[in-house]
Chain A
Amino acid sequence: MDITLFTPKGAQLFHSNQQISDQLDMQSTNNQQPQASHTSTSRSSDSVEPYIDGKWASKLLRECASAISQRDSSKIRHLLWMLNELASPYGDCEQKLASYFLQALFCKATESGKRCYKTLTSVVEKNHSFDSARKLILKFQEVSPWTTFGHVASNCAIFEALEGESKLHIIDISNTLCTQWPTLLESLATRNDETPHLKLTVVVTVSLERSVMKEVGQRMEKFARLMGVPFEFRVVSGLNRLEELTKDELGICEDEAIAVNCIGALRSVPVEKRVSVIRMLQSLRPRVVTVVEEEADFSSSKLDFLKCFEECLRFYTVYFEMLQESFVPTSSERLMLERECSRSIVRVLACDDESESVEECERRERGYQWSERLKESFLPVRFSDDALDDVKALLKRYRVGWELVLSQGNDCGIYLSWKEEPVVWASAWKP
């Protein structure tokens, strides 16, 4: 295909749209719509109208996805071209979504997802350092409770479950770079008559430079010293997949009280292996398992591309809008996070059809889906009133729009919602 992608086209929106709509009018056969490129009231199945105002990106993207699933080459080409004209990773939300989804759809259409993904990740890895990662994570935590919600809920559950124990072992399966733990360390130091000994084993599920985790470990050790908490830090890395993790690698001792903390970790396990990973966690005999995941269902990618695409679009629209409202417009951290999304989107939408799948998939599932799996090996733990109060107090510290939603019916856990859309799910489980 002769489409060049990722040429930033910020400023020429209206002009391009006029051209595009003219072109379309010439091409479409059943088009009864007026030539103006502004909003039209309906859309016939054969014509494609660009909508400049409102949610034009989602409409165009949907059309494109549908064309891909129907393997309508000319339509695909056309839509990709249009999207390319309108999209920009530096524009507004619509333009960004268009840009990143365009990339994924292009890869899907050209079956180049894996290569694209590898390129994207290698670029990031080269520039990844402790400082940049730290800055990114901490800034995000400052402006949005997206991650801190899970941290606070999990810390509460862990603290309460391990109360009274003197030797604690927390197995942290996450990529939070231990930003969850300083406040727990502070609580362990201040709320106990006798400060327990804490061993922290971190299992990293993304590939990171060794130096990053080393630095993280050093900081944690120093901080624990400052807090007066006897502390031991270990990293389990070199793991290709979480499903390969064994009990032995975790260095568990008999007299320890164990807590397993999974933040955004289970989604990197292939869907069919999830139950066995959960069983492995059960075999560790933990006092509590905290699971935090983002509320989206990308599990149907192989079976039903359009359904997965819809869900992806929905979720990332919310996410991008949230990022837009939380950060200042010129924030480089936001750009980093958006780029991270772009990799995820490519991975979810375009990396399925190949014989070897990408190393880490990221099939998110919703809270109720995780609950069903976890219930096979664990019992849900209700968050205490104190925990809920703390989460509410946390949310108050951020901008308006964030709410705590309790689960209903068969689900367990609690949800973070943004503008009434549940986005993050946090839960606690015991054997």
Chain B
Amino acid sequence: MMKGLLIQQQGAALDENMSNLTSASNEASVSSGNRETFPHQYFAPPTQTQLPVKKKRNLPGNPDPDAEVIALSPKTLMATNRFVCEICSKGFQRDQNLQLHRRGHNLPWKLKQRTSKEIRKKVYVCPEATCVHHDPSRALGDLTGIKKHFCRKHGEKKWKCDKCSKRYAVQSDWKAHSKTCGTREYRCDCGTLFSRRDSFITHRAFCDALAEESSRALTITNPLILSAQPVTSSTMSHINLLPPHFNSHDLNTLTLKREQQDVPPWLASGPLVIGPGPGPPPQPPPIDLSSLGHQQFSQAQDYTLHENPNPNPSFPPYQPAPSPHMSATALLQKAAQMGATMSKTSSDGCHVAVDSRGYQVNSASAGAGDPPSLLQDMMMNSLSSATGNDGLTRDFLGLRALSHSDILSLAGFGDCMNTSHGNQNNNPKQWQG
């Protein structure tokens, strides 16, 4: 247990000072203090049983209230390589990195040691006043994260892909994109393969396969959504028994909104009132469902799609949801895949966003008869059922209450959330005919 705590603390220090040697996943440290404790601990993934008192990592954008808030200037955040080697002029972001580099030149080097007093966790705010992360209550816990966030959201997009003219503010995002640009292939579920994204999108819009799925799903969805029956457990369990393929088609019709915003509208504006009594959601159901369906996809994505252009496992700076970074293309493809796989088998592997064991209904609240409340109730139910499940549970229609903690615990990705397609979220200007 003690070891677990040490790892955590060490991890925090390492993050700040040694990121050329370490990553957020806390690999080997060069600090003299606790070296002997590390090797076997580090490579065993911490689980609940091994480290029962493992400190929970907070949600990104929801910092530890005891943490020290640091506000760095834009200049600092955008600075790269301020520490320069006198011999070879190589630049480093941190002095510690430079020191280690100096060893290679046989120059004297000295690493700063962490002081023995207890480390106070640091969190960072964004200097941009209009940004949601400017407020200390939404500060980010990772220095690299805040730097990347600032560049991506408020910085100039200096890096440009010449194949597709997508723009990036962070060089690593651009590099990662360039590796995959043009190499991707897009498959429509009618079977056609495309090497060009624009033709894929246009094709998809007119593809017969899309038309079919939508019409099929609609016929199944409608009775459910338009049902005027009050929500009861029996109704819910009845719903639960509907064939799983329903979901995929449902999700196909649903709007699959690519996650781009700082805070997804369905989260920020709180369209889903979780509280006593149902009420009509301010937005029409399709959009609500969409975001949830989206969430489903993003969870599936974590298993299957490794299109993460940003391999750096830092916190996604502003996403409360588990990696809703899937691109629109991926959503279209995912919908296609799911349409295909779901109709074939009722239980599938990780690819399937719907987990048939998922939905557990607790008591249903009494709902008014109208459709919006039906939706509300299902969501409220899923909220109550969420806490009891492990991270892999996905509820039936993807209807979830949308609080941050729920989402994360549902996803079970608390710590190692699939990070950013964040780069794609910064208005990549790409026009395709």
Contacts and interface: CB of A to CB of B under 8 A. Distances in A.
Interface of A: 134, 138, 141-142, 145, 147-152, 155-156, 159, 179-183, 185-187, 189-195, 218-220, 222-223, 225-230, 386-387, 389-394, 396-397
A179 B260 CA distance: 25
Closest 7 CB pairs of A and B: A148-B433, A228-B255, A228-B257, A182-B205, A390-B431, A223-B205, A152-B433
A179 B206 contact: yes
Contacts of A386: 165, 167, 429, 431
A148 B332 CA distance: 21
Given A149-B433, A223-B210, A191 B205 contact: no
Contacts of A390: 165, 429-432
A391 B165 CA distance: 9
B265 A182 contact: no
B328 A182 contact: no
A281 B337 CA distance: 44
13 contacts: A147-B433, A148-B432, A183-B202, A185-B205, A186-B201, A194-B261, A222-B253, A225-B255, A226-B252, A229-B255, A386-B429, A389-B165, A389-B429
Interface stretch (B88-96, B156-164, B343-351): B156-164
Nearest to B194: A142
Nearest to B202: A182
A142 B202 CA distance: 10
Most chain A CB inside 10 Å of its own CB: which residue of B204, B286, B433: B433
B405 interface: no
Contact of A138 (B202, B327, B335, B429): B202
B203 interface: yes
A219 B210 contact: yes
Nearest to A388: B165
B234 interface: no
Contacts of A147: 433
Given A193-B262, A394-B198, A159 B210 contact: no
Interface in B186-232: 196, 198-199, 201-206, 210-211, 214
Given A152-B433, A182-B205, A393-B162, 16 more contacts: A138-B206, A148-B198, A148-B433, A152-B432, A179-B206, A180-B433, A183-B198, A186-B328, A190-B328, A193-B261, A222-B211, A223-B205, A228-B255, A229-B255, A390-B165, A392-B165
A396 B429 CA distance: 17
Interface size class of B (residues with CB under 8 A): 35 or more
B258 interface: yes
Contacts of A389: 160, 165, 429
Given A134-B206, A138-B206, A223-B210, A145 B433 contact: yes
Nearest to B263: A193
A156 B431 contact: yes
A390 B164 CA distance: 7
B274 interface: no
B428 interface: yes
B255 A397 contact: no
Interface of B: 160, 162-165, 167, 196, 198-199, 201-206, 210-211, 214, 252-258, 260-262, 265, 286-287, 290, 327-328, 332, 335, 424, 427-433
Contact of B257 (A155, A182, A195): A195
Nearest to A194: B265
A345 B265 CA distance: 53
Contact of B431 (A145, A155, A396): A155
Given A141-B433, A228-B255, A189 B328 contact: yes
B354 to A, nearest CB: 18
A181 B256 CA distance: 17
A380 to B, nearest CB: 19
Contacts of B287: 228, 230
Contacts of B252: 226
A323 to B, nearest CB: 18
A134 B203 CA distance: 9
B421 to A, nearest CB: 11
Nearest to A195: B257
B428 A183 contact: no
B260 A190 contact: yes
Contacts of A141: 199, 202, 433
B198 A227 contact: no
A424 to B, nearest CB: 12
Nearest to A158: B431
A43 B165 CA distance: 52
A102 B261 CA distance: 59
A227 B328 contact: yes
A393 B163 contact: yes
